[in-house]
Structure formats: C-alpha cells, structure tokens
Amino acid sequence: MKYLDEYRDAATARTYAEAIARMTTRPWTIMEVCGGQTHAIVRFGIDTLLPPQISLLHGPGCPVCVTPLEVLDQAVDIAARPNVIFCSFGDMLRVPGSQSDLFQVKSNGGDVRIVYSPVDAVQVARENPEKEVVFLAVGFETTAPANAMAVHRAKEEGISNFSVLVSHVLVPPAMEAILSSRHNRVQGFLAAGHVCTVMGYTEYEPLARRYHVPIVVTGFEPLDILQGVYLCVRQLEEGRAEVENQYSRSVRREGNQPAQELIREVFTVVPRKWRGIGEIPASGLGLAPPYAAFDAAKRFQVDSHHAEENPECISGLVLQGIKKPQECPAFGTKCTPTHPLGATMVSSEGACAAYYKYRRHETVEPSPSAAVGGAAP
C-alpha cells in the first residue's frame, strides 16, 4: 500500500538498525514524545531491533492519558444531564473518572456519541437545536486546529446550543518539565511529527540549546522511528544538540500557519494540570475571551470538581519516563485495560496499555532509577 509499505520495509529497517548499532559507543536514553510512536514501537517491536545500549522511554504524548481526572468527572457530570448530547473522540469513552466513565453514562441512558471530527459535533448541534451539544475538546496541538475550527464555525453561524469542554495540552512545556526535573534521564527526544506538522519546530530550538539535547522531529511508521533514532544517536555520539527534521514529508520548520492562526484566534495559553504529573505552567490551551460563551465548564457550572488519583497508580512516573509499566505492582493484576486504575492503561497509545497488549509476559528489568518514587517535575 502506497505511503505505508515503503516505511515498513524489513530490509531497510535492518540496514538502519545495523547502522545504529555500529554508531553506538555508549548507553543513550531517548524519549519518544508521542503515544502514536510508543504504539508503533511496541507493535512492531522496534526497540528489539536496537542495540542494548539504547533505551527508549515513553513520553507524555498521549492525550487520553494526560487529561486530568477533574475534566473526566466534569464530562461525566455534563453527559449524564437529560438535555445534553455529549460528543467525544472514541477512546475517551473508556477513560475512568473518579466514579464513572462515559460508557457507563451511555449505558445509564445518557446520549453519548462518538464523533470522528469536532466539526461533526457542530453538525449534531445544528440538527438538534432543542438540545445542548457538548464536545470534549482534548488533545495536543494536533487536534487543536480542528477543535478551534468547530468553535469558530459555531460562533460564526450563531449556533448557541454548542459548547466545548476544553482540556488541551501543549508539548514543549511538558518536554521542558521533564528536562528540568532532577530525576531526568532523557538525553534525546523524538518529537511528535503530527504536532510539528501543525506547529513547526522553531519552539523546540531554544529547548535543544538550553538543555543541550538533540530533538528529532519524527514520524510514526517503523522506518520513521528507526531513522529518528539514527539521527538522534548520531547527534549524541557527535556531541551535537540540534533540532532535526526526520518527518520532512509532512513537517516544515514554520508549520501550518493558517492552522496556527486559527488556534491563536480561538484559544489562549493557560496553565494546565496533567493527569499523573500535576500542573505545568503555560502548558495548555483554554478558550480565548471572545469565545468564552462556548465554554461548557462555565455553561454547566462544573468548575468546582476536585478529584484525587488512585494512590496505587504510578502513571505519572511512567509518563515522565522514570518507571516502566511493568515495574508497577498493579500492572496486569489490579490494573488491566478492562479495569484500568489510570489512564495510561486505557488508551491504545498509553504506555501501560501498549505494554499490556504486546509485552506483558516478559520479565521485568527495573529502570536504573527505580528507587526514585513519587517524584514530580
């Protein structure tokens, strides 16, 4: 299949893996930022092709995993109301809030619908003027333009029965939080290709300089990831710390400027709580003042929710690359995709779910920093 098979070619993959092995003279720890990359690495066993000195850490780039408990509780609260049609991306439905999830709301009679695009939710609002239609707007910079477009369109058309429950997060502040932590082990990053398709990569350049880390903008197919690792290791071995673009078939340095303008028009940068990690300053997007009327949290007055994470869940440490999923005592026992304690076990892109799906029968090698506990950046 065109645009797919050429990036999954076994012979080229071996060539890259051998080149990486030849080049590697010492241990390096590289974090892939995006959950889509984690999924591909585990699904295709890409880490098993790499020399033992290279360890890959799974980053915080799974929107399902980092959406805070409070927002899920707000979603459940709103979705359960009788006059509401609650629209969401599919994989948010199973994410547990503190009491319930959206699937349970649906089975109790709530009108919860899966949509493939936020613009579809606007259409639902158009077709159901007597109902309040709410869209759960989560995700990174990747989903922000489409979510912004939905709100923008609703405002233009005067669709007053539409609103969004926003919990958008931004990648660079999370990378900075990891790099500035005293427990940081990350020496190089594979940045998220789709995020950079929208945003470009100029905002990563100061990070690379300040923390002296190579950052390689990387795609999602096996050969993308292998080439990303190759470029990253080459920089590490040569002592360079630059931003390089592996995913040039999709990413330009300046990104997609009309999309960025739309994001700036509809959203404003706000502090954001990340599930399992805590609040990171200027790490999220909220609705800008001209669009405040579309804020579902205000419209339904659910701002005051406060929730505590299950103390057994170490997803925060997993998201920061401090622990591997199998090092969690609850992994595969108390915590499974059917009964997840934390969000990293829910989404197919969550590191715990990916390990459960493909690796749960392997023996555990503790991370070097396994003694570190409860640390937040």
Partner 1 sequence: MIEDFALQCPIPLDDNPTVQMGHGGGGRMTRDLIEKIFLPAFTNDLLAPLHDGAILPPVGGRLAFTTDSFVVRPIFFRGGDLGSLAVNGTVNDLAMCGARPLYLSAGFILEEGLPIKDLWRVVRSMADAAAAAGVRVVTGDTKVVDKGHGDGIFINTAGVGVIETRLTIGPMSVRPGDAILLNGDIGRHGIAVMAEREGLEFESDISSDCAPLNGPVLALLDGGVEVHCLRDLTRGGLTSALIEISESANLPMRVEEETVSVQDGVRGACEILGLEPFSVANEGRFIAFVPAGEAETALRLLGSGAAVIGAVDPPGNQPPLVRVRTSLGTSRILDLPSGEQLPRIC
Q: Which residues bind partner 1 (CB under 8 A)?
A: 1, 4, 8, 10, 13-14, 36, 42-46, 48-49, 63-64, 89-94, 103, 114, 116, 138-140, 142-143, 194, 222, 336-338, 347-349, 356-361
Q: Which is nearer to partner 1, 12 or 98 (CB)?
A: 12
Whichever of 115 and 213 has its CB closer to partner 1, that residue is 115
| Least Cβ distance, residue 331 to partner 1 (angstroms) | 14
Please give the Cα distance from 221 to 247 (Å, whole number): 10
| Beta carbon nearer to partner 1, 38 or 235 | 38
Enumerate helices (H) and strands (E) in the chain, giving the number of each.
15, 11
Q: Any residues with CB less than 8 A from the CB of 306 and at least 6 apart, and which?
A: 70
CB of 13 to partner 1, least distance (A): 5
CA pair distance 93, 310, nearest whole angstrom? 19
- As a residue count, the chain comes to 377
Nearest approach, Cβ of residue 14 and partner 1 (Å): 7
- Reported as type and span, the H/E element at residue 34 is strand 28-34
Alpha helical stretches, state H, 213-344: 222-238, 257-266, 296-299, 315-319
Closer of 122 and 241 to partner 1 (Cβ): 122
**Cα separations in angstroms, 38 against 191, 220, 302, 340:** 12, 9, 33, 19
State the nearest-atom distance from the C-beta of 142 to partner 1, in Å: 5
Task: Indicate the residue among 92 and 241 with the shorter CB distance to partner 1.
Answer: 92
CB 271 within 8 A of CB 252: no
Q: How far is the CB of 222 from partner 1 (least distance, A)?
A: 6
Query: In angstroms, what is the minimal distance from the CB of 323 to partner 1?
Result: 21
Measured from the CB atom, is 127 or 205 closer to partner 1? 127
Rounded Cα–Cα distance for residues 371 and 56 (Å): 19
